[in-house]
Amino acid sequence: MESLASRTESESLYGSSLYHEGRFADDADLSEYVQLCRRLFPEVLEGSDALGMEPETEEGIARYLKYLSGLPLSSLRMEPALLQTDLQRVSKDLSMLLLSENAKAETTDDDTEGLQGGRHSSLSMFEVMGKTRKAATTAANNISASLAQTQTALERLEAACERFATETAELDRRGQVVQHVLDKQDVIARVVELPRVMQMCVAGGYYEEAVDIAEHVRVTGDRLVRDIRDAAHVLPGSANTSGSLAVGAGRENLVAFVATVQRQVQTEFEAMVVELCAELSRVHVPRSTGGLQDSSVGVHERTVRRLSQVARTTGVLRRTGLFSEAELRMLFLRSRWQAWQQTVETFSGLAPPHNTADTDDGAMLIASTLTSGGGGLQGSAEAAAFLMQYADTFFAWISEAEQQYQSLFVRASESLEDSDSPFADLALFAARQFLGVTLPLTGQLDEAAGIAGLLSLVSTHRRLLSGVAGYALPALTETLHERAFASITCGVEDAVVDVCVALVAIGTGEEQWERLAASTRPELDFPALDGAAEGPAAFLELWRMSPVGLLQYPILAELLHAFRDGLHALRILVLAADSEDRDALLLLTMTAIVYEAELVRVTDALAEVCHNAPESAQDSARDACAAYVFGVVRCVAEIFEEIETLCEPTPADSAFTEDTPSLYTEALYAPLLFILAPDSHAHSAIDV
């Protein structure tokens, strides 16, 4: 019974048969469990105080809670049944204890007090039993309340454990995501750096690599976004709703990240395309310094370098896929035109107002600016120098543009001569603008050297340019030929007019004969002129007066000077003419016709004046006629014959040269034979 009482004293409060107080050897964290008990079971502790429990009893409850926290969930679920079993056991033990105490009390009463005090002892025993029963009932009720509270606390603990397990699973999922990101850190870093790499490639001129990066980002990014949206296993999932939402948000964030990278790369890509289009216009246009482009050192190498640059830029633009072939051609031609316009603006004195240089009116404004007095071109030499520079640069530009266009776009079945060719439109438009600038300036050309230089330049480029690129050549050549012929004949015609006017004035007596033949002239001694019918060349070779001797005949000296200037211009133009063309032969023929006509005019005017000369002026008239025939006419014929030998006609031109007029003709001197040889009958053979 004593062992039962001692066991009851130690275990009746706690009830559970699984609890053993000796299991807790370490009480280091007991204070924490005491604080936990005070928060979780305040009613039990208040009831313990009401029952007068000692403080160590509170520690016992804390130890019991510590014991329960160490049990698995299955054991915790069995604890209420175990406590109920222990409660029944305690009740049974209490009944046994009361019976034993009652028996013990009866025995003691019999021995000490006898029968007289039995009623009092029995009454005291039942009072004690009632009190004991009441205390046992109260303790049992307290134990039941504690058991209910413990069960409620266990249920809350179970729910908290379930929430903890859920949060732990979510943390594990997030940890997997973080670990996955850490494993792919190098890949993510490279993806983030793609816009900057794209920018560096564009800034460094690595356009092919930039196009590859942009294409790779576009294709790979689209495929990745499609896989993210179609495949749910890309990121780890979760069974609960919040986890599913988190996974969906993670996918959308990844899609937004990929879209941001694509957008930044696309922005750099579009900036690169704009830069390439501008770079086409910045390709250097060959600028002339006044001479022929073909004579410059390294021209071929620079042309090949520019072609390589344009081909590379055009190839990159073609790889971008943003332009069709027709659009790419128009873009190239537009860039070539812009490059030419930028070159035009650099010419000295060229100031087209309001960017009108690309229209016909703009071309006329350029020409008017160059020919005006305010800072424009002054004189034939400056106009020729500018035209040489401008024309050489233009023809070099159109030739190089044609070469580049053929290399980049023209297929074997195409031809630049087609009317629907875009390059033909550009060449025609450029030729109109070129002629609008150059033709007004050719009116200032009156020096043979400048005209010859331009004709030589045109002849050189005529062999290099195709029919499309050479739209401007025929009109410019025709205008230059007109100016060349004018430079040869205008001075002579003016001089002949002056001579004829002077001869008329002498014949009418308004002028003195000394103006035709000076009174201080030496007496002329020329041979007999009976051989005039043998031929003009033989006749003119009978005698010769030097140009110095003509100084005694002022009018004739001025006339010879004008002819010699014209013949000098003719010599320059013939030397500059292309031997493969018939321009020189045509120029010689036209000059011979005009010169012959002008000499005949002078011959007729001189014959008329000398025929009507007074007796006192017969010697002056005779000397003037001799000076004119054997000085002016023979000198002009000799120089013309010398120039004619500079032009070597090809066999194809032999028929053309047979009809070429010659200055050795009888009409130049036949009207003067009756004065030069009055007793000769040689002049009767011709029609005076």
Amino acid at 252: E
Q: Quick check: 281 pLDDT over 70?
A: yes
pLDDT of residue 580: 63
**At what angle are helices 325-344 and 422-442 packed, to 10 degrees?**
20
Q: Which pair of structure tokens corresponds to residue 65?
A: 């809670």
Confidence band (pLDDT; 50, 70, 90) for 497?
A: very high
pLDDT of residue 601: 92
CA dihedral for 170, 175, 180, 186, sign (positive or negative): positive
DSSP string, 309-371: HHHHHHHHHHHHT-S-HHHHHHHHHHHHHHHHHHHHTTSTT---GGG-TTSHHHHHHHHHHHH
Confidence band (pLDDT; 50, 70, 90) for 26?
A: low
pLDDT greater at residue 580 or residue 510: 510
Confidence band (pLDDT; 50, 70, 90) for 406?
A: confident
Q: What percent of the chain has pLDDT over 90?
A: 4
Q: What whole-number distance in Å separates Cα of residue 317 and Cα of residue 333? A: 14
Q: What whole-number distance in Å separates Cα of residue 370 and Cα of residue 441? A: 8
Q: Quick check: 151 pLDDT over 70?
A: yes
pLDDT of residue 650: 52
Q: What whole-number distance in Å separates Cα of residue 626 and Cα of residue 542? A: 11
Contact call for residues 280 and 310 (beta carbons, < 8 A): yes
pLDDT greater at residue 121 or residue 356: 121
Which stretch of DSSP H or E encloses residue 93? helix 73-112
Contact call for residues 532 and 564 (beta carbons, < 8 A): no
Picking from 286, 283, 281, 295, the residue whose alpha carbon sits closest to that of residue 395 is 286
Confidence band (pLDDT; 50, 70, 90) for 359?
A: very low
| pLDDT tens-digit readout, 167-203 | 888 888 888 777 766 776 776 777 778 888 888 888 8
Q: Give, in order, the Cα–Cα distances in Å from 498 to each of 222, 525, 559.
A: 91, 29, 9
pLDDT of residue 29: 77
pLDDT of residue 509: 79
Q: Quick check: 263 pLDDT over 80?
A: yes
Q: Quick check: 364 pLDDT over 50?
A: no
pLDDT greater at residue 249 or residue 627: 627
pLDDT of residue 16: 52
pLDDT of residue 678: 65
CA dihedral for 648, 652, 653, 655, sign (positive or negative): positive
End-to-end CA distance of the chain: 188
Return the domain boundaries, the chain.
2-18+71-179, 184-280, 320-471, 485-685
Q: Count CB atoms within 10 A of the CB of residue 451.
A: 29
pLDDT of residue 3: 45
Confidence band (pLDDT; 50, 70, 90) for 494?
A: very high
pLDDT of residue 277: 85
Confidence band (pLDDT; 50, 70, 90) for 108?
A: low
Q: How many helices (H) and strands (E) does the chain have?
A: 23, 0
Contact call for residues 626 and 524 (beta carbons, < 8 A): yes
Ramachandran area for residue 290 (φ above 0: left; ψ -120 to 50: alpha; else beta) = left
Confidence band (pLDDT; 50, 70, 90) for 469?
A: low
pLDDT of residue 496: 92
Q: Quick check: 235 pLDDT over 90?
A: no
pLDDT greater at residue 603 or residue 58: 603
Q: Quick check: 685 pLDDT over 60?
A: no
pLDDT of residue 102: 64
Task: Give the best-scoring range by mean pLDDT among 19-23, 54-58, 210-214.
Answer: 210-214
Q: Give, in order, the Cα–Cα distances in Å from 670 to each of 144, 198, 311, 604, 681.
A: 167, 91, 71, 10, 11
Q: Quick check: 372 pLDDT over 50?
A: no
Mean pLDDT lowest among 389-393, 412-416, 510-514: 412-416
Q: Give, in order, the Cα–Cα distances in Å from 683 to each of 19, 232, 599, 618, 678.
A: 169, 122, 18, 19, 9
Task: Give the best-scoring range by mean pLDDT among 115-129, 422-436, 643-657.
Answer: 422-436
pLDDT of residue 178: 77
Q: What is the mean pLDDT of the chain?
A: 74
Mean pLDDT lowest among 3-7, 96-100, 315-319, 515-519: 3-7
Q: Give, in order, the Cα–Cα distances in Å from 634 to each of 145, 452, 542, 670.
A: 157, 27, 10, 14
What is the mean pLDDT of the segment spanning 339-359? 58
Q: Quick check: 314 pLDDT over 80?
A: yes
What is the mean pLDDT of the segment spanning 331-359? 66
DSSP state of 682: G
Q: What whole-number distance in Å separates Cα of residue 312 and Cα of residue 314? A: 6
Q: Quick check: 21 pLDDT over 80?
A: no
Q: Quick check: 681 pLDDT over 50?
A: no
Q: Quick check: 451 pLDDT over 50?
A: yes
What is the mean pLDDT of the segment spanning 308-328? 85
Contact call for residues 682 and 673 (beta carbons, < 8 A): yes
